[in-house]
Amino acid sequence: MKRPTLFIALFFVLSVSFSQQKSLLLQPSANGRFLQWSDGKPFFINACTAWTLTYAYSDQEVKDYLDNRVSGKFNTIQMSAVFAEIVKTMADSAFLNQDILQPVPKFWDRVDWVVKQATDRKLVVAINPIWKYSLNEFIQASGPEKCRKYGQWFANRFKDNPRVIYFIGGNSSPEPVRTELDAMGKGIQDVYSGKALIAYHSETDQSSLEACPDASWISLNLTHAYSPVYSKQYPYSENYDNWKAFPKTPIHFCEGYYDFGDAKKYDQNGISGSWGNRFVLRRQAWWNFLSGGAGNAWGAEGIWHKDHEGQTWQACTVYGSSKDMGILKQLTDKIKWWRLQPDIGHQLLVGGFGTYMTDDFAVCAVSDNGSLAVVYTPVKQSLELRLPDYGQHCRLRWYDPANGKYSKIDMRFPKKKKKSVIISTPGLNHSGSEDWVLIIEGSRLK
């Protein structure tokens, strides 16, 4: 008689545990600066971009790719359900008779399966219902009413999966289908009673809220910067602008330069068109993180555009830049990153930070209670820091962004206190570049 009783008790505990896990939802924090689970645990987005995952990968490749991303410390996958950039007839595969309200069951069963494979591995999926860039005519022909119903239909497929979040658009400003896309976003929010996490993915140098300032359905603000040699915006400058302009919406750097491995020859700046080398991708990630970013996305050409020009998706997963994203995530797992605020006015990093809107600019963030500061410099610098009592109450360490190792800084204090201290970078990091992360811990940095 004891075994059935024990079994029932165990079943009850497991059922309650599953129910509690399922009920956790991602949502903006109370101050609007980051994402958190509904139990209050902060969530830093570390995303891998796989726009074509739902159709370009075999079943086994989907499983292998997702397992690899989990082991690489990625926690989010960015994908698109209907992505016509590679296969131009994608809309015909997804919808009967060019009708957005006539979905093809086989196509959508595959989308559902891929999403479930990801979320079953405890990954978050940021999914786009239809990629705008090459489908303006199709979206416009559908009209606002159908687009709203499509948004509702799409959201209803995933509403019971707490690890699914959304974005509208796709590498393009809303025109000429702003009204239709606005309706689609509202359709998704209809299903979630206004509590869905949704963003707009706009063109380079334009955030979600810069593109759609009046969109009441946006609850996550995507920034996006990789114009040729950053001619308009840098990741940090776009984040700074959005941190100040939209203080109640978390920032996620959704797209920047992609790694193309050895298929491209990079110039002296590490850039070739829309692609960057390991250093460029690592630099944009740290720039984003310490300028207000609550999430970062990494991309490789051979992953989003599977096996492009001989760069297999498997090879892409072992790029140095992919490993660097895990090293950044390693740090966010150890510190209270959600308390960091960008030092836009240079209250702590007062000198030696390079020149704004150039490649040598160093960024700094300080926690709201003054107990932690993190500085990233992309080049050899002598950083001037305004520390209390010349740093006697602080611990300073270098963090190598290429291997995650710490090194101590030997502080020597003069008899006469000074207003600032100068710390010089230690030379080459593990990858042979000169970018470094400085971590400052103390009781009173502000």
Structure tokens at 190: 């209809």
Predicted confidence (pLDDT) at residue 118 exceeds the cutoff of 60: yes
Higher pLDDT, 394 or 374: 374
Q: What is the 3-state secondary structure (H, E, C) of the chain?
A: CHHHHHHHHHHHHHHHHHHHHHHCCEEECCCCCCEEECCCCEECEEEEECCCHHHHCCHHHHHHHHHHHHHCCCCEEEEECCCCCCCCCHHHHHEHHHCCCCECHHHHHHHHHHHHHHHHCCCEEEEECCCCCCCHHHHHHHHHHHHHHHHHHHHHHHCCCCCEEEEEECCCCCCCCHHHHHHHHHHHHHHHCCCCCEEEECCCCCCHHHHCCCCCCCCCEEEECCCHHHCCCCHHHHHHHHHHHCCCCCEEEEECCEECHHHCCCCCCCEECCEECHHHHHHHHHHHHCCCEEEEEECEHHHHCCCHHHCCHHHHCCCHHHHHHHHHHHHHCCCCHHHEEECCCCCCEEECCCCCCCCCCCEEEEECCCCEEEEEECCCCEEEECCHHHHCCEEEEEECCCCCCEEECCCCCCCCCCCCEEEECCCCCCCCCCCEEEEEEECCCC
Residue 270, pLDDT score: 95
Predicted confidence (pLDDT) at residue 392 exceeds the cutoff of 50: yes
Average pLDDT over residues 90-103: 97
- Give dist(CA 64, CA 163) in Å, integer: 20
- Give dist(CA 77, CA 124) in Å, integer: 6
Residue 136, pLDDT score: 97
The pLDDT tens digits for 346-376 are 999 999 999 999 999 999 999 999 999 999 9
Residue 376, pLDDT score: 98
Residue 416, pLDDT score: 61
The pLDDT tens digits for 158-187 are 999 999 999 999 999 999 999 999 999 999
- Give dist(CA 303, CA 301) in Å, integer: 5
Look up the pTM and report it: 0.93
Q: Is 22 within 8 Å of 162 (Cβ atoms)?
A: yes
Q: Is 200 within 8 Å of 219 (Cβ atoms)?
A: no
The pLDDT tens digits for 219-243 are 999 999 998 889 899 999 999 999 9
- pLDDT grade for 21, boundaries at 50, 70 and 90: very low
Q: Which domains does the chain have, with CATH numbers?
A: 23-337 (3.20.20.80), 343-442 (2.60.40)
